[in-house]
């Protein structure tokens, strides 16, 4: 297995609106991001996802987060989303994502959930919420996972602590409120994105 983009950091644009999506996606791509998700509990995501996919083109993998049902998978795929991110482990969602040709990054917290996800076809795993479990838990989990499974930390990851998660065995991270908060200016998104890229590359 391999992570499908050059930079294994997912920008999580939770709460973004269609009015803001294009400018923030451009800022993220300019800063070096090439994986972007719009969570499905964001307002008007049905408009934001295709707009994000169109502006990104082949420069970034764009899709949805907080995908909870197979029907949601189909809706995202029909809108041009190619990245499927979940907060939980649901084999039916994973299988539908793979059937629709999406790249799957599946949320888990326990070894049982991790292996359930892999058996259903998950291509990468995200420990959520990572900051609650911490690097020592990641080291323990990493020891029993297949070595080629991409593992990401999501939840509470900052430029200051991302190196700890990478050192513990993660290949990257999903970045939420420390990267983007609804309504923040594009300059803030660019500044935070550059800080994360610099932190990742300095490890």
CA distance 38 to 203: 27
What's residue 194's pLDDT?
98
Residue 121 has pLDDT above 90, yes or no: yes
Residue of 139, 195, 193 lying closest to 166 (CA atoms): 139
- Residue 150, pLDDT score: 98
Q: Which residues contact 110 (CB under 8 A, 6 or more apart)?
A: none
CA–CA dist 151, 138 (Å, integer):
9
Q: Residues 8-30: pLDDT tens digits?
A: 999 999 999 999 999 999 999 99
2: its two tokens: 């391999």
Residue 138's pLDDT is: 97
Question: So where are the chain's domains?
Answer: 9-201
- CB atoms inside a 10 Å sphere around CB 203: 10
Catalytic residues: 37, 126
Residue-averaged pLDDT of the chain: 97
Per-residue pLDDT tens over the stretch 20-58: 999 999 999 999 999 999 999 999 999 999 999 999 999
What CATH number does domain 9-201 carry, 3.20.20.70, 3.30.70.580, 3.40.50.2020, 3.40.50.970? 3.20.20.70
What's residue 136's pLDDT?
Answer: 97
Reply yes or no on whether the pLDDT at 1 is more than 90.
no
Strand bridging mode 61-65 / 9-12: unpaired
- 80-117: pLDDT as tens digits: 999 999 999 999 999 999 999 999 999 999 999 999 99
H/E segment holding residue 12: strand 9-12
- For the residues 173-182, what does the mean pLDDT come to? 98
For residue 118, pLDDT over 90 is answered with: yes
> In terms of pTM, does the model score above 0.85?
yes
């Amino acid at each position: 297995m391999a992570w499908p983009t050059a930079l294994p950091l997912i920008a999580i644009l939770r709460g973004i609106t269609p009015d803001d999506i294009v400018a923030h996606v451009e800022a993220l791509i300019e800063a070096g991001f090439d994986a972007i998700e719009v969570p499905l509990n964001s307002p008007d995501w049905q408009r934001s996802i295709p707009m994000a996919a169109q502006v990104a083109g082949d420069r970034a993998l764009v899709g949805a987060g907080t995908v909870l049902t197979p029907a949601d998978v189909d809706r995202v795929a029909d809108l041009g989303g190619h990245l499927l991110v979940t907060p939980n482990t649901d084999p039916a969602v994973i299988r539908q994502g793979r059937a629709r040709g999406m790249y799957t990054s599946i949320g888990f917290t326990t070894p049982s959930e991790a292996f359930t996800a892999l058996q259903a076809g998950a291509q990468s795993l995200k420990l959520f919420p990572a900051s609650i479990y911490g690097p020592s838990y990641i080291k323990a989990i990493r020891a029993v996972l297949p070595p080629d499974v991409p593992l990401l930390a999501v939840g509470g990851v900052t430029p200051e602590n991302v190196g700890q998660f990478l050192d513990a065995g993660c290949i990257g991270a999903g970045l939420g409120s420390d990267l983007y908060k609804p309504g923040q200016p594009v300059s803030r998104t660019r500044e935070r994105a550059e800080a994360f890229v610099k932190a990742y590359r300095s490890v």
